[in-house]
């Protein structure tokens, strides 16, 4: 769960990743768009995160220190094309943009709560 919303719920970025990085373990970002909705809606994207945040979420995950790659799910040809375009044009976020996006995620986190299970 590596996205600017779930950092307010699960926060692997500060609780787990520093230990992995210290051990020189590569990090893989997953659930970049918050995971899939169940049941999937009839729309372009099946992800929990609103589509207007997808570009920023992709850049956020790949801009985090020590991230080696991101696993991005897709359910439609449109999603595949969008992900390919994001990968081709990827530019890391600045520190200011990262901070702003983290702040944007807080209200969404209050709505998502612990949508992928309770925090252990």
Residues 63-89: tens digit of each pLDDT: 998 898 999 988 888 889 999 999 999
| Separation of alpha carbons 16 and 39, rounded Å | 30
Contact 37, 47 (CB under 8 A): yes
Counting as low any pLDDT under 50, the low residues of the chain are: none
pLDDT at position 53: 94
Tokens of 59: 């850049």
Question: pTM of the predicted model, to two decimals?
Answer: 0.88
């Amino acid at each position: 769960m590596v996205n600017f919303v779930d950092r307010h719920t699960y926060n692997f970025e500060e609780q787990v990743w520093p230990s992995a990085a210290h051990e020189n373990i590569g990090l893989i970002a997953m659930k970049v768009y918050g995971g899939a909705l169940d049941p999937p809606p009839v729309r372009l994207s099946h992800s929990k995160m609103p589509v207007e945040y997808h570009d920023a979420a992709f850049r956020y995950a790949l801009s985090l220190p020590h991230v080696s790659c991101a696993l991005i799910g897709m359910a439609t040809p449109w999603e595949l094309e969008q992900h390919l375009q994001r990968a081709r044009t990827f530019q890391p976020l600045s520190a200011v943009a990262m901070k702003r996006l983290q702040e944007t995620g807080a209200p969404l986190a209050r709505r998502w709560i612990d949508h992928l299970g309770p925090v252990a």
